[in-house]
Amino acid sequence: MELTYQPYELLLKHAFTIAKFSRTSTPVMLVQMSHEGKTGYGEASMVPYMGESHQSATEFLSKVDVARFSYPFDFRTIISYLDSIAPGNPAVKAAIDIALHDLDGKLKQQPCWQLLGSNPQLMPVTSFTIGIDTPEMIIKKVKEADGFKVIKVKLGRDSDKELVTTIRSVTDVPLYVDANQGWTDLQQSLDMTYWLHEQGVQLIEQPMLKTDPDSNAWLTERSPIPIIGDEAVQRFEDVEKAKGVYTGINIKLMKSAGLYEAKRMIDKARELDLKIMIGCMTETSCAALAGLALAPQADWVDLDGPFLVSNNPYIMPEFEDGKYVLNEDAGLGLRF
């Protein structure tokens, strides 16, 4: 077994602004795991608020003993080993997990989506994300979302209504909203949910602080729109805590440390009657395809990462009528 990796800077087509910060690029680490003539590809997308970087990823990867990854892979043991190296670091752990899943599929000559029990016919539409911006740029971004059946809009500032109204001036497609913990006043937040409901919004992600489950639960109980936990739901142990606080959870591979734990989170969420969203960070086709392997098991999908960047090193996954189309290639189906 051989591990190789390269740092990469993923450039955004537009400055990406949410409630608490703005950025124009994202550091990623491209990872490869090779065994018996096959190579699996993985990726760590390290958005600033998660605390990972090229340096932290390099330090972590330098400590990984690949001799522990004997085939056939025991993913439960592997994630336990990765967690034992250092706490946190979910994105770089995800990179290894994704590469090993890709490798596993290639060695078995089966697609990852098949090995994970997904049905391509059940693929939901994916949303196209628009960050906070000026009305002129919002309209420009909406035009770039042509072909998408859902638009996701970042809120969490005083201009929330203006932003949604601007979008509504040029399109009537359904909307998802992500407040990124930007709402603070309960009554104003509740009033906003009703107004957004009138605007055709289908869900709201993480409206209140992740550290304030009581306020999120209060809002979820009264909102006409499903409330989805995002920053509050990182890994498997957070799923049970979301019950009674949110309508559903947003699972991202860069939070869950990869596909193995994400699949466990899906199964636990279904057991608890929680809705499921599969989301992403700023990602290349590699991590997007990993998320897509599980996407047919979700209620909502937000895997638009490759559409938002200008230097994706891989071919775009097939996209048709607002949905990704899974291919029959072994492993992730990543193409160069």
Strands 175-178 and 150-154 come out as: parallel
Residues 6+ apart with CB under 8 A from 116: 259, 263, 293, 294, 297
Q: Which strands, in side-by-side order, build the sheet including 275-279?
A: 127-130, 150-154, 175-178, 201-205, 227-229, 248-252, 275-279, 300-301
List phi, psi (to 5°) of 151: -115, 135
Q: Per-residue pLDDT tens for 204-233?
A: 999 999 999 999 999 999 999 999 999 999
Phi and psi at 202, nearest 5°, equal -100, -20
Task: Tell me if 140 sits within 8 A of 166, measured CB to CB.
Answer: no
pLDDT, tens only, 18-69: 766 688 999 999 999 999 999 999 999 999 889 999 999 999 999 999 999 9
Determine what percent of the chain is predicted with pLDDT higher than 70.
Answer: 99
Query: For residue 200, what pLDDT is reported?
Result: 97
Task: Name which of 16-20, 133-137, 303-307 the model is least confident about.
Answer: 16-20
What average pLDDT is seen over the chain? 96
| Max Cα-Cα span within the chain | 60
Element (H, E) at 152: strand 150-154
Q: Locate 321 and state its tokens.
A: 């009528």
For residue 211, report the phi and psi dihedrals to the nearest 5 degrees: -85, 5
- CA distances to 86, 293, 317 from 101, in Å: 21, 10, 18
At residue 22, the pLDDT reads 81
Q: Is the dihedral of CA 301, 279, 42, 14 positive or negative?
A: positive
Q: How many CB atoms lie within 10 A of CB 173?
A: 18
Global pTM exceeds 0.95 = yes
Coil, helix or strand at residue 282? coil
pLDDT digits (tens, 9 = 90+) for 91-136: 999 999 999 999 999 999 999 999 999 999 999 999 999 988 889 9
